[in-house]
Structure 1
Amino acid sequence: MTETTEATRAVVVERDFPYPPSKIWRALTQPHLIAEWLMSNNFSPEAGHRFTLSADWGKVDCEVQTVETNRSLSYRWDTKDLRSIVTWTLAPTATGTSLRMEQRGFTTEQKSYFQGATVGWPRFIAQLGEVASRLD
């Protein structure tokens, strides 16, 4: 799903998982688990913490904006000329967790970034689910 505003666009992915929010939260916030589904990193779930996500294609400079344990997490996602915000929202359900990821800040000129995020995030989130499925 995508949303468009006058100045920027956003990529939104929503998934339901049969795991409690605490398992999804661990996969979102523990560096060794993040490395399994996203990229190598030096993440820490503390507002103001600056961290880097690294892959063979380059790196993403990030800064944690908000942290509400087992509920929401947001961070700046800056790479090359893309300045965006990634927000994760977790909601408990009768069968597990509803997860919503939104990356907002793509300008209309940033078609390659937008397309990459549109294709990439569903894959990353599927891998996140696989990581969560292995947690005790």
Structure 2
Amino acid sequence: MTSATETRTVTVEREIAQPAAKIWKALTTSHLMSEWLMNNDFRPEVGHKFKLRGDWGGVMDCEVLAIEPERSLSYTWNFANDDPLYALQSTVTYTLTPTAAGTHLRVEQSGFHPNQKQAYGGAHAGWKGFLAKLEEVAGKQA
């Protein structure tokens, strides 16, 4: 049984046939993030506050929490909404691990409450789509 304060985490992993440096560039360069994730004013600096703007009109308020170049990136991902089923205070963490064939990318978004089943499911499906686009963007980098 889950408690009212317990949260769930969406985890999506993908093997990408690109070196970590190319994936890192796509994860941390604002105009490249716009190609695979959302429009943004991201800067890879701990403490930098930025916004992610979805095509659907939603805006996420974010703050960079941790950076370890070409290894990990973490930021808050908060969506304000009057309906508690859709309001979200979460943390997204990307972990890159070099492999013989390229890079293993793990994305975790934590902070989903048990009653947020639709948001949790939407995030799981959404991250799969985002990572497919990320792989394309990383593959185009010089």
TM-score grouping bracket, smaller chain normalisation: over 0.9
* Partner AA of 1:53 in structure 2: L
Q: Which amino acid aligns with 2:118?
A: S
- How much has 1:115 moved relative to structure 2? 1.4
Stretches of structure 1 lacking an aligned partner (at least 5 in a row): none
Paired residues, what number?
132
Higher percent of residues as strand: 1
Q: 1:56, CA displacement in angstroms? A: 2.9
> How much has 1:110 moved relative to structure 2?
1.2
Q: Which runs of 5+ in 2 are unaligned?
A: 81-86
Corresponding residue for 1:74? 74
**2:11 aligned partner:** 12
User: Secondary structure in 2 aligned to 1:36?
Assistant: helix
SS in 1 for 2:110: strand
Identical pairs, percent: 54
Per the normalisation by structure 2, the TM-score is 0.90
What amino acid is aligned across from residue 110 of structure 2 in structure 1?
Answer: R
CA separation in 1, counterparts of 2:7 and 2:135?
29
TM superposition shift of 1:55 = 1.5
Partner of 2:120 in structure 1? 114
- Structure 1 runs (4+) deviating above 4 angstroms are none
**CA distance in 2 between partners of 1:51 and 1:112 (Å):** 25
Whichever of the two has the greater Rg, that structure is: 2
Give the distance between the partners of 2:99 and 2:54, measured in 1 at CA. Answer: 33
TM-score, normalised via structure 1 length:
0.94
The CA RMSD measured in Å over matched residues stands at 1.0
